[in-house]
Amino acid sequence: MKKDISFFALLTAILLAYFPMAVNAQADTAMRRNVVAVFTPLYLDSAFSPTGEYKYGKQFPKFINPGLEFYEGVQLALDSLKNEKVQLDVYIYDTRSATQTLQQQISQAESQHTGLMIGHVTPAESRLLASAALRNNIPFINANLPNDAGITGNASLVLLNTTLKTHCEGLYRFLQKNYATSPIIYLAKKGPQEDRLKQYISDYEKSMAGVKLRIKYVPYEDNSAENLTKLLDSNRLHIVISGSLDEMYGKKIAQQLALTAKTYPTILVGMPTWDGITDFHKKEFRGQDILYSTPFYNAQTDKLSISINNYFRDVLFARPSDMVFRGYECLYRFGKLLTEKKSNLGSSIGEKKFKVFTDFDIQPVLNKQTMTLDYFENKKLYFVKKQDGVVKGVY
C-alpha cells in the first residue's frame, strides 16, 4: 500500500510540474543555456483525467513504472546539477501523451535549439529520434534498448544498453581469458532467437585470432528429460552456457545443475536478461555458480547510491529500480559533458568523464559492407558471478 501511495504522490507532483515542461538546473541568469530534451513514457493522460483526478484509485499500473522511475532519476540528477550551478535547461516529453504526437514533440525540441536528446524509448521511437538527432547534428542517447532498431549510417545515435552481438563477443573473450582450458557446453533449443545467438558466437570465433575455445554445442529442449550429468566429468570444472534469452529455459538448466553441483562442479553462464532474475536465491538453485554479463552493474555501496536509496525509503516508501539510476546517470553525465563541449558534444561523446555509477566504453560501430559509421555503442561489460543470489565476484 505504501508503494502505491508514494508513487501516486510522485505522479501528482509530475502533473503539477508538467506545464511548463522545462526544468532549469540553474535559472538565475539570462544567458542562453544548453538544452536537453528527455523523452520517456509517463502515461500522464492515461493516469489522470482532464480535471486532474487519478484514474486508478489506490492501484498503480506496472506499465507506468519504467518511464516514471527513469524520470525520477532525471529529476534527482537535476537537483545535483543545480547544486553545482550547471547552466542547463531540461525539457521532459511524455511519449505517451494523448495531445501531442512524438513528431510534434520532436519539432518542439528542434525549435528550442536542443543540444542533446535522451530517451527511454521503443524501437519505432528510437528511429524517429535518431533521425531528428542526425538532422540537427546532435547526439541522441538511447538509454534502454539493447538493439539498433534497424538504424544504420547515423553518427548521432548512442546505444548505452549493449547489443546482444556485443554481449556474445564479450562473453567469448571473457571465457577465453579466464577458462580457456575448461570444457564448454553450449545448450540451446530450436528457435530463430537461439540461432542468432549461436551465430554471433560462431562469427566472432571465425574472425578472432588466438586459441579457439573448446565449445560443444548440444541441442536441449524445454521438455527434455535428459540428465545433464551425462555431459559432465566430476573431475573437471565445466562451463555450461544457456544459449537462449528465455528465462524459464535458463532456470530449468540451473535447477538441474544445482541438484548435482557438489559432485559435478559447473559455472552456468546466462544471457544479459538474467540480470533481472530474482529467483536465484531460492532453494532449488542453491549451490550453483551463475554468471552473466551486464553493462550497468552498480553495487550501490557508493555515497550517491546510498543517498538515492535513502531518499526512496524515507520519502517515497519504495526501493529505486535500475531505471532510477539509469536516468540519473544519463542526465548528469551527458548533461555535464554538453555543458563543457557545447556544439562539439558529438565528437566528444566517448570521453570517459563525469562517471557516476558505471563505466562506459562508447565506441563507433562500423558497417562491414560500406566501412562507414552506423552508430556508437557502449562496449563496456561487467561479468557478475552469483551463488544463492549473492554476488561472489564482478569482473
Which residue segments constitute the domains of the chain, with CATH numbers given? 2-161+300-360 (3.40.50.2300), 164-294+383-394 (3.40.50.2300)
HSE-CB of 213 using CA atoms within 13 angstroms: 28
Q: Which of 29, 61, 30, 27 is nearest to 44 (CA)?
A: 61
Residues in CB range of 302: below 8 A, 6 or more apart: 357
Give the whole-angstrom CA distance, residue 345 versus residue 185: 44
pLDDT reading at 65 higher than 90? no
What average pLDDT does the chain have? Answer: 89
Give the whole-angstrom CA distance, residue 243 versus residue 270: 7
CB 96 within 8 A of CB 122: no
pLDDT reading at 312 higher than 70? yes
pLDDT digits (tens, 9 = 90+) for 316-335: 888 999 999 999 999 999 99
- Segment 166-173 shows an average pLDDT of 97
Cell of 101: 504526437
Task: Give the pLDDT band of residue 211 (cuts 50, 70, 90).
Answer: confident
pLDDT reading at 28 higher than 80? no
Q: Looking at residue 390, what is its pLDDT?
A: 93
Q: Looking at residue 75, what is its pLDDT?
A: 94
Q: Answer whether 0.85 is exceeded by the pTM.
A: yes
pLDDT reading at 90 higher than 60? yes
Q: Out of 48-57, 70-79, 98-107, 131-140, which region has the weakest mean confidence (pLDDT)?
A: 48-57
CB 172 within 8 A of CB 208: yes
Higher pLDDT, 26 or 153: 153
Give the whole-angstrom CA distance, residue 279 versus residue 290: 12
pLDDT digits (tens, 9 = 90+) for 260-301: 999 999 999 999 999 989 899 999 999 999 999 999 999 999
Q: Looking at residue 210, what is its pLDDT?
A: 78
From the CB of residue 350, how many other CB atoms can be counted at a distance below 10 Å? 15
Task: Give the pLDDT band of residue 154 (cuts 50, 70, 90).
Answer: very high
Higher pLDDT, 3 or 146: 146
φ, ψ dihedrals at 351, nearest 5°: -65, 140
